[in-house]
Structure 1
């Protein structure tokens, strides 16, 4: 490799992921050079504070607080961005591309909010923008969608893409704990942040769903296009009801092709808690693990499973992208860019067909079941199953619907809440898997 020039790498950020990227670049230096076909040299690591504690010893002279200066260097071939957030990450990535560097990023929030701007800048600069680490940590899912399944037609992507919420819901299922108790345990074990809002309210999963839908369906989908509900309202009673149906509750990212009102295919993208049968492959995904289930016309059903977060797993995905991008630099070529040729519209959540599980505290008297059934019929919602639990003051009806437009199901629940015979609608949750 003496005739190959050294490729120089700048890393933006040295937190949980960045420190592991720096470590792997050092420990695997010789192997990376062999895989790339040329030496790969770390020439700078941009941080906010030089004296902050770090999980890795950064070689002397590489740390800098001048991130803009680092990405503007003429000798930098590759920039790894792992600082997260919108700014200054966006400005730094655009500057790196404008200065001729290829970019590897793990920034799901930025890609979901303003991916087209970044892709257009990469295309203009004739440089790569790779981002495998932005979704599901070490699990290789974006490249299979972009490359391995490029000759197929993907129709649905269904995934558990947030480890924090999966850990919480798994603990609620296995131990009977409530949400607050399970969240506290997740925080004690380091699976949840002190402020868990981005995870438990579904923002993190929604950003990932936007990226998955964009790749799978060759259309531009942003986080704002994704219907989002978190798990903070999921109760122990909801989880127990799912158990009675031989199901589990999971926070799912669901991206699928659906016929729109005009007959044209549209993209439906949503994140919300849902009951899924224990027989479904995703039901067995435990603790903080992630899994993505892909359905396509030719390949059929595929599932990708593994650790979806953490410094080392995410750094593994970053290094995988770095090797590919480095090879492209040596070959003076670039990989696949954005594919948005289909330009499909996003189907509103209200028009998306879903199923509901509804638990209703009712008066225990004749005619109640008929009145509840009529409320579903008023909105053209067919009932799949109904069962009564308890008597007297404890009387409850549990109804599972067939698939119907989400707006019709929501209107049905609103009508139930206004009925004299209904004391309270105690639980409303969507149901995925099984027959529609």
Structure 2
């Protein structure tokens, strides 16, 4: 290639743990990166909120831009790396300006890609510049590249996994210690595994961003974050984890997507994030701590497991630099594997017709007749009880936990149970419903 001897000149927006990790990686592995990219990767300009902050890396060799959006206009820049975050605001402005200026864009910003990925991909394809976001999903695990390239010959039938390290750390720690959610969250925050405001993590939003991106690549659909059914882990109690264990399961926050064909022949995309019971012999049951894991099932490849650290300066920087190496080699394929014009706008599939076994936990007042009220609602909704695994001990507040497993049946029937009990004064908290993953 004519450009092979010229360095790929990089502007870096955001100098947090990942941004500084990129600089350290490029310094430490300069010879390896140059050999694999076919040319040098050279940071020429950087930007962050606080110029004076000590970051432990030498920034004096780079040009500094107070306004990061100005980096897109620099004549000495070939590609911009955006590591600031946020679905809108300066990050989106920088992304748009970079592509319109005819420069490549690498980002770790899953929220921006989930919300604006289609727009940015159209701009990138029109400008014939690369848009890369390996680091936006599952940190250092090359799952985007694995789906776009490694399974390119396959029809993907299912994709699911553990997509948020904070939630997985909390659940697996509750499992190991017997502690309840609130105490485990505080510990996770103290150790740096959870943010001061952990809302995006524990409510499932972060996992939903990643799932929407993976589903688009896996199924050739337009990114549709708004269609992701999302439920977090804040309702999971130590008692639920103990009961799951007694049944031979662990609880994990699972993001899953697949395509179903309706009676009308139309394809519909189901995307959801929610806590589930996972059999102890399933690969995802052994994923503990802040690790991420993604399972992709291809019609010829079979079940593939991508597993590794889902965050952190080293793993995420590794994914960013892998994208930069692709760009240095001249790789400019469609960001979502096929051109945006060929991505299908798939309607959302409701989960009501899905069948499976279900775990239900009710928090109720301790008085006669409550159990009969619940079982009557289940009977009227057509939900068969496989086992009542706990009538819990009374708490200090006079509440009792009642947990059940329902036989295989449609999820809409379980939803009907909740509707029938919705106005009941016997329930003192929202019920917890978790699907049981089989096999």
| TM-score calculated relative to the size of structure 1 | 0.90
Q: How far does the alpha carbon of each residue in 1:33-83 deviate from its partner, in whole angstroms, 9 at most, with x for none?
A: 221112222110111221123142223342321322221123311111111
Cα drift, residue 258 of structure 1: 2.5
Cα drift, residue 357 of structure 1: 1.0
Q: Does 1:39 align with 2:40?
A: yes
Look up the match of 2:334.
336
Look up the match of 2:169.
167
C-alpha spacing 1:149/1:110, structure 2 compared with 1 (3 Å): same
Distance 2:210 2:4 in 1: 41
Cα drift, residue 251 of structure 1: 1.0
C-alpha spacing 1:18/1:341, structure 2 compared with 1 (3 Å): same
C-alpha spacing 1:63/1:385, structure 2 compared with 1 (3 Å): same
Q: Does 1:412 align with 2:417?
A: yes
Cα drift, residue 376 of structure 1: 2.8
Q: How far does the alpha carbon of each residue in 1:177-221 deviate from its partner, in whole angstroms, 9 at most, with x for none?
A: 111110111111111111111111111111011111111111013
SS at match of 1:88: helix
Distance 1:336 1:219 in 2: 13
Distance 1:121 1:108 in 2: 18
Look up the match of 1:4.
5
State the number of aligned residues. Answer: 429
- The runs of 5 or more residues in structure 1 that have no matched partner are none
Look up the match of 2:151.
149
SS at match of 2:195: coil
SS at match of 1:164: helix
Residues 375 and 415 in structure 1, CA contact (< 8 A), matched pair in contact too: yes
**Structure 1 range deviating more: 349-358 or 200-209:** 349-358
Question: Which of 411, 429, 432 is matched with 1:428 structurally?
Answer: 432
Cα drift, residue 409 of structure 1: 1.3
Look up the match of 1:189.
191
Residues 226 and 269 in structure 1, CA contact (< 8 A), matched pair in contact too: yes
Q: Does 1:20 align with 2:21?
A: yes
Look up the match of 2:132.
130
C-alpha spacing 1:131/1:364, structure 2 compared with 1 (3 Å): same
C-alpha spacing 1:229/1:426, structure 2 compared with 1 (3 Å): closer
Cα drift, residue 423 of structure 1: 6.2
Residues 385 and 399 in structure 1, CA contact (< 8 A), matched pair in contact too: yes
1:311-390 matches, cutoff 5 A: 311-328=313-330, 334-338=332-336, 339=338, 340-353=342-355, 355-360=357-362, 372-387=374-389, 389=391
Distance 1:71 1:219 in 2: 30
Cα drift, residue 353 of structure 1: 4.5
Question: Which of 105, 108, 125 is matched with 1:106 structurally?
Answer: 108
Q: How far does the alpha carbon of each residue in 1:242-282 deviate from its partner, in whole angstroms, 9 at most, with x for none?
A: 11212111111111222346343311111111221111110
Residues 280 and 433 in structure 1, CA contact (< 8 A), matched pair in contact too: no
Distance 1:169 1:363 in 2: 28
SS at match of 1:42: strand
Distance 1:89 1:417 in 2: 42
- The runs of 5 or more residues in structure 2 that have no matched partner are none
Distance 1:5 1:138 in 2: 27
Distance 1:261 1:416 in 2: 31
Q: How far does the alpha carbon of each residue in 1:161-189 deviate from its partner, in whole angstroms, 9 at most, with x for none?
A: 11111111111111111111101111111
1:211-360 matches, cutoff 5 A: 211-260=213-262, 262-328=264-330, 334-338=332-336, 339=338, 340-353=342-355, 355-360=357-362
| TM-score calculated relative to the size of structure 2 | 0.89
Residues 364 and 395 in structure 1, CA contact (< 8 A), matched pair in contact too: no
Q: How far does the alpha carbon of each residue in 1:103-150 deviate from its partner, in whole angstroms, 9 at most, with x for none?
A: 111110000011101000100110111111001100111111111111
C-alpha spacing 1:411/1:92, structure 2 compared with 1 (3 Å): same
Q: How far does the alpha carbon of each residue in 1:352-371 deviate from its partner, in whole angstroms, 9 at most, with x for none?
A: 555421234598989966x7
Residues 43 and 62 in structure 2, CA contact (< 8 A), matched pair in contact too: no
Residues 16 and 311 in structure 1, CA contact (< 8 A), matched pair in contact too: yes
Look up the match of 2:200.
198
Distance 2:68 2:371 in 1: 66
